[in-house]
């Protein structure tokens, strides 16, 4: 196949026909541009798609999106608009390549940064408690959208570096608080700081590290490499904490990315410069080599629901991108 690279040669079945056959203009655009290096025009061509217009039209005056579901929660004061803004930004940035040239992204960025504290962290989804996992995942999107040099972004990245555990990763501080201690007062109190000697959570580390991995300067920082090495050592293992603890969560894939899994982990490891020859990474890559299905795509762990077939194709694109990051462009 034209433009075939080593990453594709390593697969038993070519996944590109299944991706290109799917009736999604944005997906096909990313396959042709990102995987086949075809001249398909600028990303602005995606901005007028009906899916984008529908999402942009729901943006509120302050730049956020309103959460559509019930807002009763065990977390009093939880900022559901920030949570929904994160969900929508994932779609706009990752699928449709909207960036800081689009007014909706400008307004969304201003809203997100309005939730940033003087300490540098984005706060609200856990009320007034620290949330390094969502903080990192949101910053990743803003960096990809063109805010990598924004002083507010840099303050957020520095906050992440300061909040690491002694082992080099992150945990969600409230994970160290027994459920009986998570009272209404707890959520509104000053942020709880867990002991730095506690082991990191791969849930928190796998999301916090995304921001550092996405930034061209921070991805090569020693702290990022240390966290990446910690994360890869956790592949296929249970988390230290109860949130998404079971090893089975490593094999539940969705795109755009949300929770950490084997794919998100390998994706960010490829971005900080770790190599496919590494033992832990090789084991992770081997899972994708072995588990290709008959059409060349992969099981996602989310097989039901009307969005499952589309999710499977977008996950397929993400797997191919990850493999291309590790194995480069040219066949050898």
Going along the chain from its start, the domains and CATH numbers come out as 47-244 (1.50.10.20)
Half-sphere exposure of 263 (CA within 13 A, CB side): 26
Q: What pLDDT was estimated at residue 73?
A: 74
pTM for the structure as a whole: 0.95
Terminal Cα distance for the chain, rounded: 15
Instruction: Give the span between the Cα atoms of 126 and 74, in whole angstroms.
Output: 10
Contacts of 304 by beta carbon, 8 Å cutoff, 6+ apart: none
The rounded average pLDDT for each run of 10 residues, N- to C-terminus, in the chain (332 residues) is 72 97 98 93 94 98 93 84 98 98 98 98 97 98 98 98 98 95 94 97 98 97 98 98 96 98 98 96 98 98 94 98 84 32
Residue owning tokens 């730049």: 63
Alpha-helical regions (H) of the chain:
6-9, 16-21, 25-30, 50-56, 80-89, 103-114, 132-142, 151-162, 184-188, 202-214, 222-232, 262-271, 279-290, 308-327
Instruction: Give the span between the Cα atoms of 207 and 273, in whole angstroms.
Output: 17
Q: What pLDDT was estimated at residue 4?
A: 59
């Amino acid at each position: 196949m034209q433009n075939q690279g080593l990453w594709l040669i390593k697969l038993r079945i070519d996944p590109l026909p299944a991706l290109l056959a799917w009736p999604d203009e944005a997906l096909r655009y990313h396959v042709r541009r990102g995987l086949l290096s075809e001249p398909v025009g600028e990303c602005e061509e995606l901005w007028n798609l009906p899916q984008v217009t529908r999402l942009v039209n729901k943006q509120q005056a302050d730049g956020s999106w309103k959460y559509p579901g019930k807002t009763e929660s065990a977390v009093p004061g939880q900022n559901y608009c920030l949570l929904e803004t994160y969900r929508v930004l994932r779609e706009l940035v990752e699928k449709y390549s909207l960036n800081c040239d689009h007014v909706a992204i400008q307004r969304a960025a201003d809203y997100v940064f309005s939730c940033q504290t003087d300490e540098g962290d984005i706060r609200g989804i856990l009320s007034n408690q620290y949330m390094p996992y969502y903080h990192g995942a949101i910053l990743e999107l803003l960096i990809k959208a063109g805010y990598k040099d924004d002083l507010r972004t840099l303050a957020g990245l520095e906050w992440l570096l300061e909040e690491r555990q002694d082992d080099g990763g992150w945990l969600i501080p409230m994970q160290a608080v027994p459920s009986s201690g998570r009272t209404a007062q707890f959520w509104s109190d000053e942020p709880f700081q867990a002991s730095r000697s506690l082991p990191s959570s791969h849930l928190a580390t796998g999301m916090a590290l995304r921001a550092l991995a996405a930034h061209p300067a921070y991805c090569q920082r020693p702290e990022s490499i240390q966290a990446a090495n910690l994360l890869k050592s956790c592949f296929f293992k249970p988390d230290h904490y109860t949130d998404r603890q079971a090893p089975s969560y490593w094999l539940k894939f969705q795109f755009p990315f949300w929770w950490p899994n084997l794919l998100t982990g390998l994706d960010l490891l490829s971005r900080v410069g770790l190599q496919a020859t590494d033992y832990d990474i090789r084991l992770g890559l081997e899972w994708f080599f072995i588990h290709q299905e008959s059409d060349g795509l992969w099981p996602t762990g989310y097989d039901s629901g009307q969005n499952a077939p589309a999710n499977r194709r977008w996950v397929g694109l993400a797997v191919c991108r990850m493999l291309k990051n590790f194995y480069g462009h040219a066949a050898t």
